[in-house]
Amino acid sequence: MRMVMDDVSNIWSILEKVEDPEIPVLSVIDLGIIRDVSVENGQPVIVLTPTYSGCPAMDMIRVRIRMALLQHGFTGVQIKTVLSPAWTTDWMSEKGKEKLQAFGIAPPLPLQTVCHPGMFHREEAIPCPRCNSYHTARISEFGSTACKALYRCEDCGEPFDYFKCH
């Protein structure tokens, strides 16, 4: 039993170092996509939930998790995917949000909201990650990856990504 507990906490700390290929400052733990870790008959079982249904990084993330665990001697890794409850940015770690900000991506707002289906619905103002101005405008609610929207700061003039609340 003692061994299993050690293995589980060991696996969690290995996963801390598995990066998201699209946003390398975030680990899979920061993203909140690891829902459970257990060990069955000496083999790790990881429960993973995707951010968006079509996120192309998910296959790569599964490979990276296997590789990282293999490097630490874990074989026969099982990765189970669950869809419900659906992933939300509310599960992102505070540390992850700070890292995003430092990387130049506005983190999801602390107050969890979901997309409102009303046409031309105005979202809360998103502060610029560079100059902190709230004088910003949304260019497009779809950005370079499924999880981001594209904004522009009207004060410093820089465009930036916003990791949208989901």
Partner 1 sequence: MFSSAIIGYTLHLADNALILGHRNSEWTGHGPILEQDIALSNIALDLIGQARNFYQLAAGMINGTRGTRAWPAVGGDKAEVTEDDLAYLRDGWDFRNCLLVEQPNGDWGATVLRQFFFSAYQFYFYGELRNCRHAEIAAIAEKSLKEVTYHLRWSGEWVIRLGDGTDQSAGRMKKAMDHLWQFTGELFEPAGYERELLAEAIAVDLPAIRPLWDQRVREVLGAARLAAGSDVWMQTGGKQGKHTEHLGYLLAEMQFLQRAYPGCEW
C-alpha separations of 162 from 12, 42, 51, 107, 165 in Å:
28, 41, 15, 6, 9
121 binds partner 1 (CB under 8 A): yes
Choose one: 23-31, 40-48, 68-76, 141-149; the region binding partner 1 (CB under 8 A). Answer: 141-149
Find the binder of partner 1 among 5, 60, 67, 82 (CB under 8 A). 82
Q: How far is the CB of 143 from partner 1 (least distance, A)?
A: 7
97 binds partner 1 (CB under 8 A): no
137 binds partner 1 (CB under 8 A): no
Find the binder of partner 1 among 4, 70, 115, 131 (CB under 8 A). 115
36 binds partner 1 (CB under 8 A): no
**How many residues sit close enough to partner 1 to count as binding (CB under 8 A)?**
29
> Measured at the alpha carbon of residue 27, what is the angle toward residues 75 and 93, in degrees to the nearest 5?
125
Q: How far is the CB of 160 from partner 1 (least distance, A)?
A: 14
| Residue closer to partner 1 (CB basis): 98 or 124 | 124
110 binds partner 1 (CB under 8 A): no
Find the binder of partner 1 among 1, 3, 83, 111 (CB under 8 A). 83
Q: How far is the CB of 123 from partner 1 (least distance, A)?
A: 11
DSSP-derived secondary structure for the chain = -HHHHHHHHHHHHHHTTPBPSSSTTSBHHHHT-EEEEEEETTEEEEEE--SSTT-THHHHHHHHHHHHHHHTT--S-EEEE--SSPP-GGGS-HHHHHHHHHHTEEPPPSS------STTPPPPP---TTT--S-EEEEES--SSTTEEEEEETTT--EEEEE---
Site for partner 1, rule CB under 8 A: 50, 52-56, 82-87, 114-121, 139-144, 146, 150, 166
